[in-house]
Amino acid sequence: MILDLLRIFAGLAFLVAGAHGLVRGGVGLARRMGISSLLIGLTVVAFGTSTPEVAVSVQSALEGQGGVALGNVIGSNVFNILVILGLSAVITPLVVRSQLVRFDVPLMVVASALPLLLGLDGRLGRQDGLVLLSGLFFYLALLGLLARRQHARARTETQPQFGADARSDAASAQADPDSPQDPLLLSVAFALAGLFLLSFGAAQLVEGAVAVAGQLGVNDLVVGLTIVAAGTSLPELATSVAASVRGERDLAVGNAVGSNVFNALGVLGAGAAVSGNIPVPPGMYALDFPVMMAVALICLPVFLTGSTISRAEGGVFLLYYGAYMLYLVLHATDHALHDEFGMLVLGVVVPSSLAVGGVLAVRGWLSPAGNSRDVR
């Protein structure tokens, strides 16, 4: 028990260190490349922190455990929005730029719906996996064009800065060890070291938590639905929270949204393309897929209301995740309240939230203030 507890605390320490390293490296790369922290969060940070999902899903698909691969992606996507954005917003309200509202979040909704549509025949085959991977490459191509435009704009704006002022800025950036203006190689080193520490720390924490839960007599299925399901999203959580604490709110939001796109298109696509068959049980369409789609759709109205995710909205996200986890635990333990609670969540909470969200989305879209954020 003591050794397992030490593994948990060591895992947390590695997660914190890795998150700060990845945030510092990601911000440094953004500054050096002349692109926004949001774009770095949507790509380098988001894809890097999703490596545990890739490993788990591909390995599960190859071993014939397609349900694990599919459940891992759905659970991670729900966790990324409700817990990661929710907790980050509770720490500090998150600014949402117009690029997310007009481009990335709609694409996240489409990416979430694509596996749902492709799996209507009861499976995700190799061709379905290639379709998903093609969607990911298309998304990356669009982000690449946006990065080139931002880089060209940054070069144009900084071109007149020569002489003493420019030398002074460079000197002050190098003098401050916590400055985001780190040398390019140092930023890359921070990012890679951060990714390694995040993956290692998440593995230690999950293994230790599972062992402790087993010794306390907690049901294995409950452990899988809670600790293991959230474990692969710990790198995203640690990184977004660290970014919020450091004031890099664009990176925190971009990490969660970009990870969801990568999970739906890249992780599931790779698993289906490699294994050739990921079964999609009909039960997925009764709860899991609707919840994932509802979580993706609710982002639009929340993001549109004043172009921020407030602390109150972050708290609501956390409450939603708590209700979702309670439903899963009741279902796993076959509790007497399972059916009643399920009807309450799926029949009242989800529809009413989407209805209110739809009204807010229309009002936010029509409001000039809701679309005033610059893409940069």
Give DSSP secondary structure letters for 236-266: HHHHHHHHHHTT-HHHHHHHHHHHHHHIIII
179 lies in some domain: no
Confidence tier at 136 by pLDDT (50, 70, 90): very high
DSSP state of 64: T
10 Å CB burial of residue 120 (0-12, 13-18, 19+) is exposed
166 lies in some domain: no
228 lies in some domain: yes
Q: Retrieve residue 376's tokens.
A: 């940069």
- The predicted pLDDT at position 132 comes to 95
Q: Which domain holds residue 39?
A: 2-157+185-371
- When pLDDT is averaged across residues 80-84 and rounded to a whole number, the result is 91
Confidence tier at 304 by pLDDT (50, 70, 90): low
105 lies in some domain: yes
d(Cα 60, Cα 70) in Å, to the nearest integer?
9
- The predicted pLDDT at position 113 comes to 93
Q: What angle do CA 329, 318, 353 make, to 5 degrees?
A: 95
Q: What's this model's pTM, rounded to 2 decimal places?
A: 0.75
pLDDT tens-digit readout, 199-226: 788 778 777 877 887 787 766 556 655 6
Instruction: Judge whether 288 and 71 are in contact, CB under 8 Å.
Output: yes
Q: How many domains does the chain have?
A: 1
- The predicted pLDDT at position 305 comes to 62
287 lies in some domain: yes
10 Å CB burial of residue 193 (0-12, 13-18, 19+) is middle
CATH of the domain at 123: 1.20.1420.30
- When pLDDT is averaged across residues 316-335 and rounded to a whole number, the result is 83
* Radius of gyration, alpha carbons of the chain: 21
Alpha helices in the chain (DSSP H): 2-33, 37-40, 46-49, 51-62, 66-79, 86-91, 98-99, 105-118, 126-158, 163-175, 184-215, 220-223, 229-231, 234-245, 249-262, 268-275, 288-304, 311-332, 338-344, 350-366
d(Cα 372, Cα 168) in Å, to the nearest integer?
34
171 lies in some domain: no
- When pLDDT is averaged across residues 52-78 and rounded to a whole number, the result is 77
SS3 310: coil
Instruction: Judge whether 373 and 306 are in contact, CB under 8 Å.
Output: no
168 lies in some domain: no
Q: What is the mean pLDDT of the chain?
A: 77
Q: At what angle do helices 2-33 and 184-215 cross, to 10 degrees?
A: 160
Select the more confidently predicted residue: 234 or 219. Answer: 234
Instruction: Judge whether 349 and 323 are in contact, CB under 8 Å.
Output: yes
Burial 44-77 (b: 16+ CB within 10 A, else e): bbbbbbbbbbbebbbebbeeebbbbbbbbbbbbb
d(Cα 212, Cα 218) in Å, to the nearest integer?
9
Q: Inform me whether the pLDDT recorded for 145 exceeds 80.
A: yes
- The predicted pLDDT at position 169 comes to 38
Select the more confidently predicted residue: 10 or 214. Answer: 10
133 lies in some domain: yes
Q: How many residues does the chain have?
A: 376
- The predicted pLDDT at position 177 comes to 42
Q: Inform me whether the pLDDT recorded for 95 exceeds 70.
A: yes
- When pLDDT is averaged across residues 8-15 and rounded to a whole number, the result is 83
